[in-house]
Structure 1
């Protein structure tokens, strides 16, 4: 592990430490649901500014064979770990503006330091944008979201939060194997680098699948197994179509089956999350 990698690893360890601390103090699944929601908000923001907007680039030097996938690792440390973990800490413990300002200053300083160490680079982004977004939007949002998911949810609000909790699981299970195992790639011609193309398509794909999951969960099925059959069929047909028109290329035999398998697994998890959201904060585990 080189110099760059240690800094990103340090942030990851801090993030995990924060989540373990929250769990040790608040043994309720609501903190995990809040974390998932904040991860998805971070993913949606990054889809716009980082993937399609080209705002900045990370250099963790962990994935050697492709610089864009390597940059994605840095993005995951930020948007899957440290930023949502701090937002979860703020929301669960209802921390005031002093704490919000402190954590904003910490991440602002971290960004400044990473820039000086040349392990992170701005294109058109400014550190001030990060400060403003965290201080006035993202961190306060954590407190608002936690109040919402602590109550029993129904109707459209239940559907929205079910989507926000399910989408990040789908997104991670979709792109992480691609980055590390090169099991598939998407070719659309949107960007020069196939890895950028793949990341962009995957970022949209997981949103569409999460919407489908939400619809399937909300339907009252007479036979529970039917929704799994429908989801597996949709995944299988989508894979065939994308392959046929030349967008998808699979490089290992298990690739199509993995996406069917994990969709079925996450659909089960989504059902459990749905029940938990309906109960409110009374549940201790998902």
Structure 2
């Protein structure tokens, strides 16, 4: 195994160990809800600066068949695991600004090291942007943690639910594409087809997540009918995207998979909605 893979896998391993420690000390339900919400927030940030603005590139060398998908995996290791775990640690243990500055410095140092090892590169991004942005990310985690301790309702309930459901929907939307090249999107936004796919995939999962939240909280429809409407909506969206030439499925199970994903996402949304309404 090469140095690139070892560094990224090491980052993943340390993050998982820290997450297990946080869950053990502070409770699984509260810790995981906050973690999933921070992953969702990280996904939205990455959609803007990485997917569309091309801020940086990762080289974990874990996916051999496509360099951009390999970079996506590096982004997931960093911004959908390491950073949300550190935010969960800071918020659940009520760490002060000295801790925030210290952990921000650690990530700035890791970024510098990855640059020196040539396993990560900047396009227009700079380490100072990381150093300036992370304290706000951690502050958001502390605010969110205080909120989810209490029973939530109204718009903030919907917002937290959207972040958490987005983590589920976004992850399971992109993983088959990264590992199995199950589908690709073609819009001409970028010359790189994989980047086109990643960017539109982000828009797709965000819109789908809004739908799951809305229908989960829509109480005028029988529960069984919600699942039928959700499955039919995903099927219709898939057919429309395919007929307009945007979606290209490359495996037989592509359509059934995303229909089943939509049903699972709605079930997940309903479950998390109840948890947020009760408080942690």
Q: Distance in 2 between matches of 1:276 and 1:77?
A: 27
Q: Which residue is equivalent to 2:83?
A: 83
RMSD: 0.9
Q: Distance in 2 between matches of 1:221 and 1:267?
A: 16
What's the offset of the Cα at 1:204?
Answer: 0.8
Q: Which residue is equivalent to 2:171?
A: 172
Q: Which residue is equivalent to 2:69?
A: 69
Q: Which residue is equivalent to 2:140?
A: 141
Q: Which residue is equivalent to 1:228?
A: 227
Asked if 2 retains the 8 angstrom alpha-carbon contact of 1:236 and 1:260, the reply is yes
Residues 1-286 of structure 1: pairs in structure 2 closer than 5 A: 1-135=1-135, 137-281=136-280
Q: Distance in 2 between matches of 1:120 and 1:56?
A: 7
Q: What per-residue deviation string (whole Å, max 9, x for no partner) do you get for residues 43-69 of structure 1?
A: 111111111111110011111111100
Q: Secondary structure at the match of 1:260?
A: helix
Q: Which residue is equivalent to 1:284?
A: none
Q: What per-residue deviation string (whole Å, max 9, x for no partner) do you get for residues 110-142 of structure 1?
A: 00000000000001111000001012x011111
Q: Distance in 2 between matches of 1:257 and 1:28?
A: 32
What's the offset of the Cα at 1:221?
Answer: 4.3
Q: What per-residue deviation string (whole Å, max 9, x for no partner) do you get for residues 243-273 of structure 1?
A: 0010001011110000000111121111010
Segments of structure 1 that go 5 or more residues without pairing to the other structure are 282-286
Q: Secondary structure at the match of 1:246?
A: coil
Q: Distance in 2 between matches of 1:34 and 1:221?
A: 29
Moved over 3 A (4+): none
Q: What per-residue deviation string (whole Å, max 9, x for no partner) do you get for residues 209-231 of structure 1?
A: 01101110111145211100010
Asked if 2 retains the 8 angstrom alpha-carbon contact of 1:15 and 1:85, the reply is yes
Q: Distance in 1 between matches of 2:94 and 2:54?
A: 34
Q: TM-score, normalised by structure 2?
A: 0.98
Asked if 2 retains the 8 angstrom alpha-carbon contact of 1:152 and 1:278, the reply is yes
Asked if 2 retains the 8 angstrom alpha-carbon contact of 1:56 and 1:124, the reply is yes
What's the offset of the Cα at 1:99?
Answer: 1.2
What's the offset of the Cα at 1:181?
Answer: 0.6
Asked if 2 retains the 8 angstrom alpha-carbon contact of 1:221 and 1:227, the reply is no
Asked if 2 retains the 8 angstrom alpha-carbon contact of 1:232 and 1:260, the reply is yes
Segments of structure 2 that go 5 or more residues without pairing to the other structure are none
Q: Secondary structure at the match of 1:57?
A: strand
Q: Distance in 2 between matches of 1:221 and 1:184?
A: 35
